[in-house]
């Protein structure tokens, strides 16, 4: 039996959640689930229907017409909309710009949470409120942070876009997502500003091992670096 249940990674845009979640899942041979993709799929559906994104009932009426599936694959997730793979269309500037407006509707949030709770543990998942609202009973919770400047540089590296514009979009999304961006009390917080992806992954793996070692009576490992702290 796996010693893991649900391992959550929450944090703001470009803090490294999905990359770290993928690497941890690969290291532990677990599936990985990206909750943001479902919010992005809901946004794609609403944008395609050209409805008012602030109209929760109109958005929900559209979502009910479609079948959305999130399929964990070896290096991430594929999203199918009525059977068609739409994964590659979910990370556009257009979806980035509208997703927070769609994600703030309580019934959209319930729609996403219901999809996620159908996945059988163990798995690794990333999002904003995975450790607080969707899986409060998760076995291991991490909250990744980084300054808006560092996060903007990371995104520019990925999309070859203009730094100022990306930094502005990230700050705007932080503000709109603020309600969901509250760390769980029992999450381990990691400031990733000075850390490479490899260093964050090493820190998380060490924390997971230390917790399991201490739960079977072995000596508890102390904090591995100054960058990790309980929230």
Taking the C-alpha atoms of residue 210 and residue 188, their distance in angstroms, rounded to an integer, is 13
Interacting span for ligand CDP (CB under 6 A) from 53-61, 78-86, 152-160, 218-226: 152-160
Tell me which residue has tokens 């019934």.
107
19 lies in the binding site for ligand CDP (CB under 6 A): yes
Interacting span for ligand CDP (CB under 6 A) from 12-20, 56-64, 135-143, 208-216: 12-20
CA 30 vs. chain centroid, Å, equals 16
The SS3 of residue 208 is helix
Please, which of residues 130-149 interact with ligand CDP by CB under 6 A?
130
DSSP secondary structure letter of residue 195: -
Sheet (strand 32-34) strand order: 32-34, 123-127, 6-10, 140-145, 188-191, 228-230
Please, which of residues 153-192 interact with ligand CDP by CB under 6 A?
154, 157-158, 173, 177, 180, 192
For ligand CDP, give the closer residue by CB, 23 or 122.
Answer: 23
- Residue of 33, 46, 115, 129 that binds ligand CDP (CB under 6 A): 129
Taking the C-alpha atoms of residue 11 and residue 80, their distance in angstroms, rounded to an integer, is 25
Angle at 41 between CA 74 and CA 108, to 5 degrees: 120
Binding mask 48-87 toward ligand CDP (x if CB under 6 A, else -) reads ----------------------------------------
Residues binding ligand CDP (CB under 6 A) = 11, 13-19, 35-36, 39-40, 99-100, 103, 126-130, 154, 157-158, 173, 177, 180, 192, 195-197, 200
């Amino acid at each position: 039996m796996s010693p893991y249940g649900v391992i959550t990674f929450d944090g703001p845009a470009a803090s490294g959640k999905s990359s770290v979640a993928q690497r941890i899942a690969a290291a532990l041979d677990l599936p990985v689930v990206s909750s943001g993709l479902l919010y992005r799929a809901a946004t794609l559906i609403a944008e395609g229907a050209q409805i008012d994104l602030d109209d929760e009932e109109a958005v929900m009426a559209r979502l009910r017409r479609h079948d959305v599936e999130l399929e964990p694959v070896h290096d991430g997730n594929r999203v199918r909309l009525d059977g068609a793979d739409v994964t590659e269309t979910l990370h556009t500037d257009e979806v980035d710009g509208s997703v927070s407006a769609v994600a703030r509707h309580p019934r959209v949030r319930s729609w996403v949470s219901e999809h996620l709770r159908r996945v059988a543990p163990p798995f690794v998942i990333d999002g904003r409120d995975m450790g607080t609202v969707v899986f409060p009973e998760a076995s291991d919770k991490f909250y990744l942070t980084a300054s808006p400047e560092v996060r903007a540089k990371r995104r520019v590296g990925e999309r070859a876009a203009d730094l100022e514009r990306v930094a502005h979009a990230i700050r705007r999304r932080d503000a709109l997502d603020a309600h969901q961006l509250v760390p769980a009390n029992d999450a381990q917080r990691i400031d990733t500003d000075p850390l490479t992806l490899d260093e964050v992954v090493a820190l998380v793996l060490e924390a997971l091992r230390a917790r399991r070692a201490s739960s079977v009576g072995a000596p508890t490992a102390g904090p591995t670096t100054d960058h990790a702290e309980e929230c």
